[in-house]
Structure formats: structure tokens, C-alpha cells
Amino acid sequence: MSRYFKAEITENKKLNNDCNLLTFVPFRKPAEPKPGQFFMIGMEGDYDPLLKRPFSLFRRTQRGFQILYRIRGRGTSLMRNLGRGSVIHVLGPLGNSYPMPPEDHAPVIVAGGIGIASVFSLAERLAAARNKAHIYYGARGASDLLMVGALKKAAKRLSLTTDDGSCGERGCITDMLSVFSWGASSERNTVIYACGPRKMLETVAGIAAGRGIEAYVSMEENMACGIGACLGCVVKTVSGHKRVCKEGPVFNAKEIVW
Amino acid sequence: MNLSVQIGKLKLKNPVMTASGTFGYAEEYSEFIDLNRLGAVVVKGLSLTPKEGNPPPRIIETPAGMLNAIGLQNIGIESFIQEKLPFLKRFHTPVIVNFFGDSIDEYAEAAKSLSAAEGVHGLEMNISCPNKQAGWRIFGTDPKVTFEVVSAVRKSTNLTLIVKLSPNVTDIALMARVAQDAGADAVSLINTLTGLAIDIKTRRPKLANVTGGLSGPAVKPVAVRMVWEVYRSVKIPIIGMGGIMSSDDALEFLLAGAAAVAVGTANFINPRATIDILSGIEAYMRDNRVTDVKDLTGGMI
Ligand SMILES: Cc1cc2nc3c(=O)[nH]c(=O)nc-3n(C[C@H](O)[C@H](O)[C@H](O)COP(=O)(O)OP(=O)(O)OC[C@H]3O[C@@H](n4cnc5c(N)ncnc54)[C@H](O)[C@@H]3O)c2cc1C
Ligand SMILES: Cc1cc2nc3c(=O)[nH]c(=O)nc-3n(C[C@H](O)[C@H](O)[C@H](O)COP(=O)(O)O)c2cc1C
Ligand code: FES
């Protein structure tokens, strides 16, 4: 069960203008990933791109793994061109994972944009554990809301927002979160899990702190090694710099210095 | 086939080492490779007291390379000895500790406390980090200061002393000679080249520290040239590094004059890079009927 393996791409499906769903099957059986963990993915080529890129586990399939990715720069643009049968080099699963909530706690998931990639498997895991989450999911427009059908099935309740109002409510997902009332007694029994842009995570952390709710956020930083060796991926926390790839990517929101 | 090389008092079983800062404290890579197969392990740069390092973002990819501005974040010598060294003692690969100070006294003090620790086999003094403030950089760029600081460290340790040189100087051969005259057992080169990358949309530097150190394949020709220049002007062994991704790259360094090589950025791309490079050197020696790796050093015709 090595955490460094080659894998074959079986599908690289276009979901909208700038997001793809990539399915890969490892040549050797890797370790079983947990929701919130990620893989470093490298392509064959002449050092372009040079470093591997981090992507969250989106979903476990019968034979392989899926990642959901947004095309951002050089690496993801090249990744978009990978066809069926292409070989990738994978390190992982890496990092920590979302802690499962106690049975009597109601999970709330907040996802912004491509952040859905990281919390999707958590939603499915919670559904399997018969403790479905209330999912808040926001994106730019209707076409940017991904996997809504599957999310509906996995969620106790699904609240959607878009910046342009083309689907769900118009506005920010955190606006919706901040006006929602869980009732004072249930707040103590709520756990929030969030992944998305840093601004969104900061707002979620603020809402959670204000209401005394436990919140976990999945952080992002540029990475080189992915295994804790280069100290390139740190975030500032109340107890000094911590590595997103090792102590994270999931942090208690209280820990982060925003 | 003889792969062993001599660096100061240290006999390495082969010439492949790790480059400081790219291999953590080796523990991180032990699940991917057998650390016993390495010529030596060089750990992340340490100082007397722990350091927080620079704010993020600390790394950014550039064409065939990367810029880093870690800022020498480290756990401090004491914690290293308590928490990291015991693990390394389980292997029979020499442990070389990379270290730095903020003054000549601190350098000497750090060398002393590391020399007292059982399980530290050699020292590599970093006088060449591009991510420190200008006042610090004189350790590696002003020959007079370099001589003073290396001499002070030499007096504080009996361990094999390697001086890590900066490429951000006009005449690296001169700096190598100064290190040799001050008592260094070997020199290692190159550390990273100072660089800058700017986001044209925001017009902001891509790294929080503004500048960073360039490493990876992009720096290799510069590094090979510098090894060649240093080889012609010092007698002590050279540890060559800078963009070594494959055994072909490593062999170039040996032919330019390096006695051993260190693998850095390549570890990030392939955690087994060191072992793959070692196997490649062995294959080259077999194919070319080279019986002793020392015969490759300076073998450029
Ligand atoms: C733990 C973790 C999990 C992630 N999971 C996913 C995922 O499931 N799906 C997904 O689409 N993306 C994910 N990302 C972000 C993804 O890694 C980056 O979008 C990707 O590396 C960009 O590569 P590129 O070569 O296309 O862009 P580059 O050309 O390298 O950069 C383009 C832009 O993206 C920024 N960037 C580069 N790396 C990162 C990064 N790691 N985080 C944020 N911005 C970055 C650069 O600063 C630059 O502005 C994750 C990041 C981390 C750290
Ligand atoms: C992320 C990173 C951290 C580094 N940290 C150190 C360090 O602490 N001390 C040091 O002497 N060199 C440090 N270096 C420099 C490397 O040891 C090496 O000299 C340089 O990267 C060139 O080799 P490469 O191109 O193979 O990486 C660091 C390099 C990188 C990329
Ligand atoms: S990416 Fe190297 S320490 Fe996290």
C-alpha cells in the first residue's frame, strides 16, 4: 500500500466551461483515503509543469478515485488535455481529514465554488452514517453549481446561492448561513465543515465563533512536496506556522489567524 | 564497482546525498525509500533557537523551476536533537546537519552544540540563504566576513565541516578558496539563485517575501559551470547540486568536478529521486566500464 503510485486515467469528463471530473485507477492498491484528504498529481512531461498539484479526494469509485478540478493555470490547463489511458504520478492520500461529528451533533457543510470537491465525500460519508448534513453551496452561476443531483440525495437539506441569482438565492452563501436560525439549544450540537475561498472561510469562522459553534475549515496554500518536508505550504495559526499538507488541510477554524 | 567517496573525515558509501531543506528531517521520506541506501542525509537548516520563517505564500513555480522563500523556518537545535535525531540514529547513513546563525558567535555556538550531539556526523554551514536580510547575506558574499565566520566555526568543531556557497556572487571560486583557507573540509554548491516573480494582474509579487530562491532544472547549467570553476581553484572536495533531476544530471556535476552530489527539488517531484539517481549512476558506470566513481570527478575532457 504505497502512497506513491502510477495511475491510469479512465475518464476526464468536462462538466462545464472550466471544471472537469477526472477518474483514475491506480496500478497498485493504495491506502484508503478519508474525506478531506488530498492527492498530489503529476503528469509525464519535460518538467512542465514541474511540481505536482494538490487535489482533494472527490469520490471513491469501485476501482479508482475521482477528483473534481477547476482550470486555473498552466498545470490544470494541461491536465484538461489528458485523455483516457494517460498515466499520472500520484502521491497520497495525504493530510488529515474532516473529523466525523458525534452522533447527536447535526453537521452543516458550507461549500464555495470548487470547494465542493473536498466536502462532497464528507456529505456522502455522513449520509452513509445516517447523519445527513444541511449543505450550503454557493457558486458564481447556475452552470457552476456541480453535482447538485447527488448532493440533494446526500443532504438533509440543500441550500443553494449564486452570485447572479441564476439558481437558488442570489448572493453569498455565507449571507444565507448567517441568517439561518438553528435555535439556541441546537447550536451547541452543530458542527460546521467548510471549504472554499479564503474570504468565505474567514466569514464562516466568524459566524461560528459568534454563535459558539465548532467549525472545521479546509485551507489551501501552494505546495511543493505535499508530505511535510519543504515547509512551503504553511498557514498562520494561533500556535505558529502549520503545514497545510501535514497538520491540515483541515483545521479547527479557531486555530487560524485570518 | 567502487561507489564510495571521502568528504573530510566522512566515508560515504556512495556520492548521492540529499539537499538541505528539501528532505525535511528525512523521516518524511522514509516511507518511500530506504534511507540506508543514501550516501548521506542532509537535514533542514537549523539554528540555536526555533524560527518562524516567512509568511505565505512561500513557493511558486516558474518555468522548469521554483522560487521559495521559506525563511529558514526550523524547530531549533535542541528540539532537533531531542525529537528528530533518535529516528535518524536507527540508520547507518551519515547525518549531516545544515545550520546557520545570525552572528559569528551564534554560528560558533550552534556548531559547538551540534558537535556534542551523538549521531551528528558532519556539519554543513549555510552562509548562502537568499531569503535572509541584506545584513545577513554578507556571511556568504563578503570574503572577509566569510573567512571570519568559517574560521570561528572551524575552531568550534572537529566534525567534517562543509561550507555551502552562494551563487549570488561575482566570483564563486574566490569564495570557495576563502572557505578552504578558513579550514573547511569541503564546499557544497549551489544554494538557490535570488529571483522574483510578479503577478501581472494584481501587479503584486507572487511571494509574500517579494524575492525568493530559484531551484530546479532551470538553474542546472549555472550550477554545473560554478562547480567547474570551483574545481579548478580548490583542493577540497565539492558537493555539487542545483537542478539534479536524473542520473544524467548528476553525472554532469561529477564530470565538472564534484566528488558527490545532492538532490533537492527533484525529491518533490519524485520522492524516490535519490535512489533512482543512484541506480542510474551505477548503470552508467557498468556501461562505460568505470570501476571507481572517483574517476568520474573532474572527468570532463
Ligand atoms: C489541499 C488542497 C486541495 C485542493 N483541492 C482542489 C480540488 O479538489 N479541485 C481544484 O480544482 N483545486 C484544488 N486545489 C487547488 C489546486 O491545487 C490549484 O488550483 C492548482 O494547483 C493550480 O494549478 P495550475 O498549474 O493550474 O495553476 P498555477 O499556474 O500553478 O497557478 C494559477 C493560479 O492558481 C494559484 N494556485 C496555485 N496553486 C494553488 C493552490 N494550491 N491553492 C490555491 N491557489 C493556487 C496560483 O497562485 C495562481 O494564482 C487544492 C489545493 C490544496 C492545497
Ligand atoms: C524549499 C527549499 C528549502 C531549502 N532550504 C534550505 C536550507 O534550509 N538550507 C540550505 O542550505 N539550503 C536550502 N535550500 C537549497 C537547497 O539545498 C539547494 O541548494 C538548492 O535548492 C539547489 O538544488 P536543487 O535545484 O536540486 O533544489 C532549500 C531549497 C528549497 C527548494
Ligand atoms: S507542501 Fe511541502 S511541507 Fe507542505
ipTM of predicted assembly, 2 dp: 0.95
All structural domains of chain A, each given as residue ranges with its CATH number in brackets, are 4-94 (2.40.30.10), 106-252 (3.40.50.80)
Nearest CA in chain A to B215: A50
DSSP-based three-state secondary structure for A96 = coil
Q: Which residues line ligand 1 (CB under 6 A)?
A: A 38, 49, 53-56, 67-70, 72-76, 114, 117-118, 220-223, 244, 249; B 61
pLDDT tens digits along A221-237: 999 999 999 999 999 99
- CA distance from start to end of chain A: 37
Q: What are phi and psi of A214, to 5 degrees?
A: -70, 130
Cβ count within 10 A of residue A146: 23
Nearest CA in chain B to A227: B28
CA B46 to ligand 1 centroid distance, Å: 30
pLDDT at A30 over 90: no
- In chain B the beta strands, taken as DSSP E runs, fall at 5-7, 10-12, 16-18, 41-46, 59-62, 65-68, 95-99, 122-126, 160-164, 186-189, 193-196, 198-199, 204-205, 211-215, 238-240, 260-263
- Contact assignment for B44 to A42 by CB distance below 8 Å: no
Q: Which residues line ligand 2 (CB under 6 A)?
A: A 230, 232; B 19-22, 44-45, 68, 70, 72, 98, 126, 164, 191-192, 215-216, 219, 241-244, 263-266
pLDDT at B132 over 80: no
Amino acid at position A99, single letter: P
Distances in Å between the alpha carbon of A122 and those of A119, A206, B229? 5, 22, 57
B194: left (phi over 0), alpha (psi -120 to 50) or beta: beta
Residue B22: which of B76, B62, B59 has the closest Cα? B59
pLDDT tens digits along A56-91: 999 999 889 999 999 999 999 999 999 999 999 999
pLDDT at B230 over 70: yes
Q: Which residues line ligand 3 (CB under 6 A)?
A: A 223-226, 228-233, 243, 245
The CATH class of the B5-53+70-193+215-296 domain is: alpha beta
The pLDDT assigned to A182 comes to 65
Torsion of CA A246, A249, A251, A256, to 10 degrees: 90
Atom of ligand 2 nearest to the CA of B219: 25
pTM across the whole model: 0.96
Q: What are phi and psi of A220, to 5 degrees?
A: -130, 140
Chain B contacts to A (CB-CB under 8 A) = 21-24, 28-29, 31-32, 44, 52-53, 55-61, 63-66, 68, 70, 73, 216-217, 245, 265, 267-272
Name which of A5, A90, A221, A241 to mutate to probe chain B: the one with the most chain B Cβ atoms within 10 A of its Cβ.
A241
Ligand nearest to the CA of B218: 2
**Quick one: what percent of chain A has pLDDT higher than 90?**
84
* Enzyme catalytic residues of B: 129
Please state the separation of Cα B260 from the chain's center in Å: 11
DSSP of A27-51: SS--PPP-TT-EEEEEESSSSSS-S
Task: Give the mean pLDDT of chain A.
Answer: 94
Atom of ligand 3 nearest to the CA of A223: 1
pLDDT tens digits along B251-290: 999 999 999 999 999 999 999 999 999 999 999 999 999 9
pLDDT tens digits along A166-198: 999 898 899 888 877 666 557 678 999 999 999
Nearest protein Cα to ligand 2, atom 12: B20
The pLDDT assigned to A183 comes to 61
The pLDDT assigned to A184 comes to 56
Lowest mean pLDDT among A43-57, B124-138, B156-170: B124-138
DSSP of B48-102: SS-B--PPSP-EEEETTEEEE-----B--HHHIIIIIHHHHTTSSS-EEEEE--S
| Cα B23 to Cα B106: distance, rounded to the nearest angstrom | 24
Q: Mean of the pLDDT values across residues B185-203?
A: 97
Among A245, A247, A251, which residue has the most ligand 3 atoms within 8 Å of its CB, making it the best to mutate?
A: A245
The pLDDT assigned to A185 comes to 57
Q: Which three cell numbers stand for residue A250?
A: 483541515
Atom of ligand 2 nearest to the CA of A224: 1
- Contact assignment for B216 to A234 by CB distance below 8 Å: no
